[in-house]
Protein backbone atom coordinates (compact mmCIF):
# COMPACT_ATOMS: atom_id res chain seq x y z
CA UNK A 1 0.00 0.00 0.00
CA UNK A 2 1.39 3.41 -0.86
CA UNK A 3 1.47 6.34 1.50
CA UNK A 4 0.56 9.89 0.63
CA UNK A 5 4.01 10.95 -0.41
CA UNK A 6 4.24 8.09 -2.90
CA UNK A 7 0.81 8.90 -4.29
CA UNK A 8 2.20 12.22 -5.44
CA UNK A 9 5.00 10.51 -7.26
CA UNK A 10 4.27 9.69 -10.89
CA UNK A 11 6.74 7.02 -11.91
CA UNK A 12 6.35 7.59 -15.62
CA UNK A 13 7.50 11.20 -15.23
CA UNK A 14 10.81 10.22 -13.66
CA UNK A 15 13.89 10.06 -15.88
CA UNK A 16 15.68 6.69 -15.93
CA UNK A 17 18.33 7.75 -13.46
CA UNK A 18 15.66 8.61 -10.89
CA UNK A 19 13.21 5.86 -11.74
CA UNK A 20 15.68 3.04 -11.12
CA UNK A 21 16.65 4.19 -7.59
CA UNK A 22 12.94 4.78 -6.92
CA UNK A 23 12.30 1.18 -7.92
CA UNK A 24 15.00 0.07 -5.48
CA UNK A 25 13.10 1.95 -2.76
CA UNK A 26 9.77 0.47 -3.83
CA UNK A 27 11.24 -3.00 -3.81
CA UNK A 28 12.65 -2.35 -0.35
CA UNK A 29 9.16 -1.37 0.79
CA UNK A 30 7.59 -4.40 -0.87
CA UNK A 31 5.40 -2.35 -3.20
CA UNK A 32 4.54 -4.91 -5.87
CA UNK A 33 2.19 -2.73 -7.95
CA UNK A 34 4.79 0.02 -8.25
CA UNK A 35 7.43 -2.51 -9.25
CA UNK A 36 5.22 -3.91 -11.98
CA UNK A 37 4.55 -0.37 -13.19
CA UNK A 38 8.24 0.53 -13.14
CA UNK A 39 9.15 -2.58 -15.13
CA UNK A 40 6.55 -1.73 -17.76
CA UNK A 41 7.80 1.85 -18.04
CA UNK A 42 11.42 0.79 -18.53
CA UNK A 43 10.38 -1.75 -21.16
CA UNK A 44 8.35 0.90 -22.98
CA UNK A 45 11.42 3.12 -22.96
CA UNK A 46 13.22 0.41 -24.86
CA UNK A 47 15.27 -1.16 -22.07
CA UNK A 48 16.43 -4.73 -22.63
CA UNK A 49 14.49 -7.09 -20.32
CA UNK A 50 17.80 -8.39 -18.97
CA UNK A 51 18.86 -4.86 -17.98
CA UNK A 52 15.55 -4.18 -16.24
CA UNK A 53 15.98 -7.42 -14.33
CA UNK A 54 19.57 -6.86 -13.22
CA UNK A 55 19.69 -3.09 -12.76
CA UNK A 56 16.26 -2.47 -11.26
CA UNK A 57 15.19 -5.73 -9.58
CA UNK A 58 18.28 -7.78 -8.72
CA UNK A 59 20.19 -4.70 -7.57
CA UNK A 60 17.24 -3.65 -5.40
CA UNK A 61 17.04 -7.09 -3.85
CA UNK A 62 20.79 -7.05 -3.23
CA UNK A 63 20.27 -3.96 -1.04
CA UNK A 64 17.45 -5.75 0.82
CA UNK A 65 19.80 -8.68 1.39
CA UNK A 66 22.48 -6.46 2.92
CA UNK A 67 20.03 -4.86 5.34
CA UNK A 68 18.65 -8.28 6.31
CA UNK A 69 22.16 -9.52 7.00
CA UNK A 70 22.84 -6.43 9.12
CA UNK A 71 19.66 -6.89 11.15
CA UNK A 72 17.95 -3.74 9.81
CA UNK A 73 15.22 -5.73 8.07
CA UNK A 74 13.59 -8.91 9.35
CA UNK A 75 11.80 -11.80 7.67
CA UNK A 76 8.42 -10.15 6.80
CA UNK A 77 10.10 -7.23 5.03
CA UNK A 78 12.24 -9.65 3.04
CA UNK A 79 9.17 -11.67 2.09
CA UNK A 80 7.33 -8.56 0.91
CA UNK A 81 10.32 -7.39 -1.11
CA UNK A 82 10.66 -10.85 -2.65
CA UNK A 83 6.96 -10.77 -3.52
CA UNK A 84 7.42 -7.45 -5.31
CA UNK A 85 10.42 -8.76 -7.21
CA UNK A 86 8.43 -11.82 -8.21
CA UNK A 87 5.75 -9.60 -9.74
CA UNK A 88 8.38 -7.81 -11.81
CA UNK A 89 9.99 -11.07 -12.85
CA UNK A 90 6.67 -12.49 -13.99
CA UNK A 91 6.52 -9.71 -16.59
CA UNK A 92 10.14 -10.15 -17.64
CA UNK A 93 10.41 -13.92 -17.76
CA UNK A 94 8.71 -14.58 -21.10
CA UNK A 95 10.64 -11.67 -22.65
CA UNK A 96 13.95 -12.95 -21.32
CA UNK A 97 13.49 -16.28 -23.04
CA UNK A 98 12.84 -14.53 -26.37
CA UNK A 99 15.62 -11.99 -26.08
CA UNK A 100 18.31 -14.64 -25.61
CA UNK A 101 19.48 -13.45 -22.19
CA UNK A 102 22.54 -15.34 -20.92
CA UNK A 103 22.01 -18.88 -19.59
CA UNK A 104 24.69 -19.53 -17.02
CA UNK A 105 23.80 -23.06 -15.95
CA UNK A 106 21.17 -25.19 -14.30
CA UNK A 107 20.49 -25.42 -10.57
CA UNK A 108 18.49 -28.04 -8.70
CA UNK A 109 17.58 -26.70 -5.26
CA UNK A 110 15.53 -27.93 -2.30
CA UNK A 111 15.19 -27.95 1.48
CA UNK A 112 16.38 -31.22 3.04
CA UNK A 113 14.32 -34.01 4.56
CA UNK A 114 12.67 -33.18 7.88
CA UNK A 115 12.76 -29.44 7.24
CA UNK A 116 10.02 -27.29 5.78
CA UNK A 117 11.63 -23.85 6.13
CA UNK A 118 11.68 -22.45 2.61
CA UNK A 119 11.88 -18.65 2.69
CA UNK A 120 15.68 -18.51 2.28
CA UNK A 121 15.67 -21.30 -0.29
CA UNK A 122 13.01 -19.50 -2.34
CA UNK A 123 15.02 -16.30 -2.21
CA UNK A 124 18.15 -18.04 -3.43
CA UNK A 125 16.16 -19.70 -6.24
CA UNK A 126 14.75 -16.34 -7.30
CA UNK A 127 18.10 -14.53 -7.24
CA UNK A 128 19.79 -17.35 -9.15
CA UNK A 129 17.07 -17.13 -11.75
CA UNK A 130 17.52 -13.37 -11.86
CA UNK A 131 21.22 -13.86 -12.46
CA UNK A 132 20.57 -16.08 -15.47
CA UNK A 133 20.52 -19.60 -14.06
CA UNK A 134 17.81 -22.06 -14.91
CA UNK A 135 16.31 -23.21 -11.62
CA UNK A 136 14.48 -26.42 -10.75
CA UNK A 137 12.94 -26.02 -7.30
CA UNK A 138 12.20 -29.28 -5.51
CA UNK A 139 10.45 -27.57 -2.62
CA UNK A 140 10.73 -28.81 0.95
CA UNK A 141 11.38 -32.02 2.89
CA UNK A 142 13.51 -33.71 0.21
CA UNK A 143 14.95 -37.20 0.65
CA UNK A 144 18.23 -38.05 -1.07
CA UNK A 145 16.40 -39.89 -3.88
CA UNK A 146 14.53 -36.81 -5.05
CA UNK A 147 17.75 -34.77 -5.30
CA UNK A 148 19.58 -37.48 -7.24
CA UNK A 149 16.68 -38.13 -9.57
CA UNK A 150 16.31 -34.44 -10.39
CA UNK A 151 20.05 -33.90 -10.95
CA UNK A 152 20.08 -36.72 -13.45
CA UNK A 153 16.80 -35.95 -15.17
CA UNK A 154 17.46 -32.24 -15.46
CA UNK A 155 21.08 -32.62 -16.48
CA UNK A 156 21.91 -30.01 -13.84
CA UNK A 157 25.23 -28.32 -13.12
CA UNK A 158 24.62 -27.33 -9.52
CA UNK A 159 22.95 -28.89 -6.50
CA UNK A 160 21.72 -26.48 -3.81
CA UNK A 161 20.58 -27.71 -0.41
CA UNK A 162 18.98 -25.64 2.33
CA UNK A 163 18.46 -26.41 6.06
CA UNK A 164 17.34 -24.19 8.93
CA UNK A 165 17.24 -26.77 11.70
CA UNK A 166 20.23 -28.12 13.60
CA UNK A 167 18.59 -31.52 13.39
CA UNK A 168 18.26 -31.48 9.60
CA UNK A 169 21.57 -29.97 8.51
CA UNK A 170 23.47 -33.29 8.90
CA UNK A 171 21.20 -34.76 6.22
CA UNK A 172 23.19 -32.79 3.63
CA UNK A 173 26.08 -35.12 4.33
CA UNK A 174 23.85 -38.11 3.66
CA UNK A 175 23.10 -36.69 0.22
CA UNK A 176 26.75 -35.92 -0.56
CA UNK A 177 27.92 -39.31 0.71
CA UNK A 178 25.35 -41.05 -1.48
CA UNK A 179 26.62 -39.06 -4.46
CA UNK A 180 30.14 -40.24 -3.64
CA UNK A 181 29.03 -43.86 -3.37
CA UNK A 182 27.43 -43.63 -6.78
CA UNK A 183 30.53 -42.00 -8.23
CA UNK A 184 28.67 -38.85 -9.30
CA UNK A 185 29.84 -36.38 -6.64
CA UNK A 186 32.29 -34.60 -8.94
CA UNK A 187 29.77 -34.26 -11.74
CA UNK A 188 28.07 -31.44 -9.84
CA UNK A 189 28.84 -28.28 -7.93
CA UNK A 190 27.31 -28.61 -4.47
CA UNK A 191 26.30 -25.43 -2.65
CA UNK A 192 24.76 -25.45 0.82
CA UNK A 193 23.12 -22.76 2.95
CA UNK A 194 20.76 -21.89 5.79
CA UNK A 195 21.16 -19.80 8.93
CA UNK A 196 22.63 -22.45 11.30
CA UNK A 197 25.33 -23.54 8.81
CA UNK A 198 28.80 -22.13 8.50
CA UNK A 199 31.88 -22.46 6.35
CA UNK A 200 33.42 -25.12 8.56
CA UNK A 201 30.30 -27.29 8.36
CA UNK A 202 30.21 -26.95 4.56
CA UNK A 203 33.80 -28.18 4.35
CA UNK A 204 33.25 -31.00 6.84
CA UNK A 205 30.38 -32.53 4.86
CA UNK A 206 32.18 -32.24 1.53
CA UNK A 207 30.19 -29.46 -0.15
CA UNK A 208 31.98 -27.22 -2.63
CA UNK A 209 30.83 -24.08 -0.83
CA UNK A 210 28.72 -22.79 1.99
CA UNK A 211 26.99 -19.52 1.00
CA UNK A 212 25.92 -17.02 3.64
CA UNK A 213 23.19 -15.45 1.53
CA UNK A 214 21.61 -15.29 -1.90
CA UNK A 215 24.06 -12.70 -3.24
CA UNK A 216 27.03 -14.86 -2.24
CA UNK A 217 25.27 -17.88 -3.75
CA UNK A 218 24.99 -16.10 -7.11
CA UNK A 219 28.63 -14.97 -7.10
CA UNK A 220 29.87 -18.40 -6.03
CA UNK A 221 27.80 -20.22 -8.64
CA UNK A 222 29.05 -17.88 -11.36
CA UNK A 223 32.67 -18.49 -10.34
CA UNK A 224 32.30 -22.26 -10.38
CA UNK A 225 30.56 -22.19 -13.74
CA UNK A 226 33.33 -20.01 -15.20
CA UNK A 227 35.93 -22.44 -13.87
CA UNK A 228 34.00 -25.39 -15.25
CA UNK A 229 33.92 -23.83 -18.73
CA UNK A 230 37.63 -23.08 -18.62
CA UNK A 231 38.31 -26.74 -17.93
CA UNK A 232 36.30 -27.91 -20.93
Partner 1 sequence: MTRTLVIACGALATEILAINTLNGWDHYELQCLPAKLHLHPDRIPDAVEKLVLENRDRFETIFVAYADCGTGGVLAARCKALGVEMINGPHCYAFFEGNQAFEARGEVTSFFLTDFLARQFDGFVWKPMGLDKNPELLELYFGNYEKLVYLAQTEDVALTAKAKEAAQRLGLTFERRYTGYGDLVSALDPKNASAPRPVPG
Q: Which helix (H) or strand (E) holds 105?
A: strand 105-111
* Rounded least distance, CB 115 to partner 1, Å: 8
Contact 161, 175 (CB under 8 A): yes
Pairing of strands 105-111, 133-137: parallel
Using CB under 8 A, pick the residue from 36, 43, 165, 216 that binds partner 1: 165
Q: Confirm or reject binding of residue 167 to partner 1 (CB under 8 A).
A: yes
Among 89, 192, 207, 225, interactor with ligand B12 by CB under 6 A: 192
Parallel/antiparallel/unpaired status of strands 209-210 and 105-111: unpaired
The reply on whether position 76 binds partner 1 by CB under 8 A is yes
DSSP per-residue codes, 150-213: HHHHHT-SEEEEE--STTTTTHHHHHHHHHHHTT-GGGSEEEEE-TT--HHHHHHHT-SEE-SS
Nearer to ligand B12, 95 or 136 (CB): 136
User: Mask 96-115, x = binds ligand B12 (CB under 6 A)?
Assistant: -------------x-----x
Nearest one of 193, 207, 227 to 65, comparing CA atoms = 193
Partner from partner 1, ligand B12, none binding residue 41, C-beta < 5-8 Å depending on class: none
Q: Which residue from 87, 100, 86 is spatially nearest to 132, judged by alpha carbons?
A: 100
CB of 41 to partner 1, least distance (A): 25
Smallest separation, CB 88 to partner 1 (Å):
17
Site for ligand B12 in 116-175 (CB under 6 A): 116-121, 123-124, 160-162, 164-166
Window 209 to 228, contacts with ligand B12 (CB under 6 A): 211, 213-214, 217
Q: What is the DSSP letter of 112?
A: B
Main-chain phi, psi angles of 148, to 5 degrees: -65, -40
* Residues of the shown chain interacting with partner 1 in the complex, contacts defined by CB under 8 A: 71, 74-77, 79-80, 114-116, 118-119, 140-141, 164-167, 169, 195-198, 201
* Residues of the shown chain interacting with ligand B12 in the complex, contacts defined by CB under 6 A: 65, 75, 78, 109, 115-121, 123-124, 160-162, 164-166, 191-196, 211, 213-214, 217
Amino acid sequence: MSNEEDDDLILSELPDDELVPQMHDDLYDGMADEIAEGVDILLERGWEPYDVLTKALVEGMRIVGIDFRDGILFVPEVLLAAGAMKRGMAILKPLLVDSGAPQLGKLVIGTVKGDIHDIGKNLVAMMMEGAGFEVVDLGINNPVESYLEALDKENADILGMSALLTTTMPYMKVVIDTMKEQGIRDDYIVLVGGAPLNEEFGKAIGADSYCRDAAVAVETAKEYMARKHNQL
